[in-house]
Structure 1
Amino acid sequence: MNNNELKRLLQANIITEDTAERIREYYRDNKRQSRFTLSAVFAIFASVFVSMGIILIIAHNWDELPKLLKIVFAFVPLLTAQSLCLYTLIRNRDSIAWKEGSATFLFFSLGACMALISQIYHIPGDLAEFVFTWMIFCLPAIYIMNSSVLSILYLAGITWYAAETGYWSSTSGSALWYWLLLILAIPHYYLLLHKHPESNFTIYHNWVVPLSVTAVLGTLSASFPELMYVAYMSLFGVFYLGGQSSFFSSSKRRNNGYLILGALGTVSLLLSLSFEWFWKKLPAKDFDLSSLLISQEFLFALVLSCVALLFLYQSNRLKIQRIKPLDGIFLVFIVVFMIGAYSMISMILINIILLLIGMMTIWEGVRSDHLGILNYGVLIIAALTLCRFFDTDLSFVIRGMLFIVVGAAIFILNTWMLKKRI
């Protein structure tokens, strides 16, 4: 709002001079905050490009340099980054641009220094060990610099380490160190949620953390990979219920990565299990009960299920929200999974569950007058219909009729909702 508009409102006696001054102050604060944010973004990108530029220049002439000069070039960017961080802590502690920019420069210069020294002295080790050491050295800087960008880079780094160890390495393991490294980064994230719940850095963490955990959980699969379906379903239940907690009650839906990933993950997993391939294989699995109960898959599935159950109890005890369609699906799935070890009826139950979720989600969208939720429910039913299109012996006429019904339902429901708003 510009000054001319404020003057017109004052002349029309719509607002008082005191209200006009508060409006001016509000917009001045917003502009100031926008400048700070832009400064931080430019500082971060500048640090990244400077770091990459230095690495490329050195790499171009690397083979021609003497050993001593190589060592100097390895440490100069790191020492420069440390000096900038020290200057920031002493003279510009309150500047977001300086904090985030110098911390980002430190992150990349440290990795470059480690890589160069390893190459110069031919230090043995694989990529996972290198990334692990790099992240360990970067961890204290998150708290010293109070840097959220460094925290995000650290989360990306430990995810890379876990994937390298658990998925891509020739001697794949479960990357259990990842979980300790993740816990060590949680205090910074917790402070962000409490002090700056609506900041961009908090929103980025709300997406990066659940995406990282989702990507890494699969590394736990070893002797009983079937149990990972229970673990993932409970994990998505934790995300979905946690996304409805008081921490995120004031957040916009698109900023709530836990809620969105929990909902999409639950439905996607159910859709993948609505086919018969999994349930045909499950009864034939020879489960050794004593080995199963001490397996890491069972342990993590049990822990995640208990956490999800605690969230479900807490949310309903405090009456944070009405029961939503996906609230207790993780519990229902555990029962269906156990039935599936003995009968193919579980495949039918999964399809019925998906249909009910779609219908309940549509009703939730109608009740709350939310087009996004309504269309999400319709899309669930449409996705289920599409899955059955490739999985049944129905004639093309009947399949075509099903798609016509779904398309008509989308049009009718959206038109009805829009008319209600007029």
Structure 2
Amino acid sequence: MNSKIQNDIKELVEEQVISKEIAASIENYYKSKKGDTPNRLFTVFAVLGSTLVGLGIILILAHNWDSFSRSIKTVFAFTPLIIGQLIVGYTIIKKKNITWREASGVFLFFAVGSSIALVSQIYNIPGNFSSYMLTWVLLCAPLIYLLKSNALAILHIVFVTSYACSFGYFNGNNTPWMYLVLLAVMMPYYYQLLKNKKIHNITSIFNWLIPLSAVIVLGTFVKKSEELGFLMYVILFGLLYNIGKIPFFDNQKLRRNGYLILGSLGTIYMLLLTSFEWLWKDILRHEIIINSQEFYVSVVLLLVTLGVLIFSYSKKRIQNFNLFQYVFVMFTIIFFLGVSGSIISIILINLLTLILGVMAIKIGADKFHFGILNYGLLIITALIVCRFFDTNMSFVLRGLLFVSVGVGFFLTNYMMLKKQKGKIE
């Protein structure tokens, strides 16, 4: 048991806040809780060990591969798979602890992948990397629920993302629709983590991995009407931000809320990118193909994001006005103004970015959060830097702007720190 807790219990007994019997009960509770808790470090090393063992076996076989006959090669191809299945079966039947489940699951996961690759090589079965990844992930997906393994769920997201990138970016003009199915397969497991392990570190990892995977893969759905890709990404970031503002996520520490951080950073990045005049002249001012995949994806994303926003309103989860939650709507309007040839779209995007920076400063000041405060200042600084490259301002004026921003950084942080100290005193 933690020495601090023991000292606190001892102090409470000495001050006669609790009796010795209650103190003994508390100590027994913590001891039993510690006994039931698996050694996390041991679990991590078990997973790493299983991974290294699996990779080591593959390397040993690969070194002597050409000297084996086809039948021997086939035996070697299936041996790791059989061993992995036996270990997993033993783990399930004997109801072993989380360390066994994680280690055996990871070993079998890589055994499946190696067996598929070896059999394909031995018997010259045609195929490409994306089909190989798809088969691998589909075969191993049930293991997530059989073993209740966090490591397998993480591997599932990583390999599903790899499949989608391979199929969509490097395998011709294809759209990885199966990515949506494979991601949905894992959602019940993620839901259980959110329900039962809300503040655990493993849940925070998934809160980052899932939105990051969506951001990486969305580009594979852009094929013909590339200018709509900008709109798709802004709406996606709006969706992520609004999910992150749901109290379930928003009430947690900021570092655990990957939806909010990625949504905010992505929104600002897209606004800064589309604030350049050359982008609208060279890329965005083209005729929008209404009957295109990108248009339908944009509509679906817009409806889903609006649904999340309306749901938050209906449950009275939105207490204060936050412009970040509505940027996707404003950008959609500005986007269609811009593609029609209106110069006002560029002005509006620059103005919108500036207002977002000011609002981030206000939110940071209201919450006494230096990170959010400086984030707002960085938004304004980034906007000034962008205009540094596409305006004809004199170097003196540019220098004065940067000096002003630097002074603003210092004064804002100093005033907030002083106010915070005064509030504590």
TM-score by length of 1: 0.93
1:74-114 deviation line (CA, Å, top 9, x unaligned): 11111111111111111134x11111111111111100111
Correspondence 1:11-90 to 2 at 5 A: 11-13=14-16, 17=20, 20-21=23-24, 24=27, 28=31, 31-32=34-35, 35-90=38-93
Deviation at 1:357, TM superposition (A): 0.3
1:410 maps to what in 2?
409
- One-letter amino acid of the counterpart of residue 359, structure 1: V
Distance 1:303 1:97, change over 3 A: same
SS in 2 for 1:327: helix
Write the distance in 2 (CA, Å) between the matches of 1:190 and 1:33: 24
> 91, 95, 118: which is aligned to 1:92?
95
Correspondence 1:164-203 to 2 at 5 A: 164-169=166-171, 171-203=172-204
1:238 maps to what in 2?
239
Correspondence 1:390-409 to 2 at 5 A: 390-409=389-408
Write the distance in 2 (CA, Å) between the matches of 1:34 and 1:212: 31
Deviation at 1:22, TM superposition (A): 6.5
2:364 maps to what in 1?
365
Write the distance in 2 (CA, Å) between the matches of 1:373 and 1:154: 33
Percent identical pairs in the alignment equals: 43
CA contact 2:238–2:325 (8 Å) conserved in 1: yes
Q: Say whether 1:310 aligns with 2:307.
A: yes
Superposed CA RMSD in Å reads 2.0
SS in 2 for 1:330: helix
Deviation at 1:325, TM superposition (A): 2.9
Deviation at 1:19, TM superposition (A): 6.4
Where does the alignment leave 5 or more consecutive residues of structure 1 unmatched? Answer: none
Distance 1:34 1:399, change over 3 A: farther
Correspondence 1:140-155 to 2 at 5 A: 140-155=142-157
Write the distance in 1 (CA, Å) between the matches of 2:383 and 2:191: 38
- One-letter amino acid of the counterpart of residue 84, structure 2: A
Write the distance in 2 (CA, Å) between the matches of 1:337 and 1:345: 10
1:162 maps to what in 2?
164
2:291 maps to what in 1?
294
Displaced runs of 4+ in structure 1, greater than 6 A?
Answer: none
**Matched residue count:** 416
Correspondence 1:211-226 to 2 at 5 A: 211-226=212-227
Deviation at 1:148, TM superposition (A): 2.0
Distance 1:334 1:96, change over 3 A: same
Deviation at 1:256, TM superposition (A): 1.0
Write the distance in 1 (CA, Å) between the matches of 2:297 and 2:140: 28
Deviation at 1:370, TM superposition (A): 1.5
- One-letter amino acid of the counterpart of residue 326, structure 1: F
- One-letter amino acid of the counterpart of residue 244, structure 1: K
Distance 1:108 1:414, change over 3 A: same
TM-score by length of 2: 0.92
SS in 2 for 1:328: helix
Deviation at 1:35, TM superposition (A): 4.3
1:49-82 deviation line (CA, Å, top 9, x unaligned): 1111111111111111222221111111111111
Correspondence 1:316-395 to 2 at 5 A: 316-321=313-318, 322-341=320-339, 342-395=341-394
CA contact 1:103–1:147 (8 Å) conserved in 2: yes
Distance 1:69 1:377, change over 3 A: same
Deviation at 1:167, TM superposition (A): 0.8
Correspondence 1:114-129 to 2 at 5 A: 114-129=116-131
- One-letter amino acid of the counterpart of residue 277, structure 1: W
Deviation at 1:392, TM superposition (A): 1.6
Deviation at 1:234, TM superposition (A): 0.9
After TM superposition, the structure 1 stretch with the greater mean CA deviation from structure 2, 396-405 or 246-255, is 246-255
Write the distance in 2 (CA, Å) between the matches of 1:4 and 1:332: 56
- One-letter amino acid of the counterpart of residue 184, structure 2: I
Deviation at 1:123, TM superposition (A): 0.6
1:167-208 deviation line (CA, Å, top 9, x unaligned): 122x23111221122112211111211122222322111111
Distance 1:404 1:21, change over 3 A: farther
Write the distance in 2 (CA, Å) between the matches of 1:37 and 1:385: 47
CA contact 1:128–1:165 (8 Å) conserved in 2: yes
SS in 2 for 1:419: helix
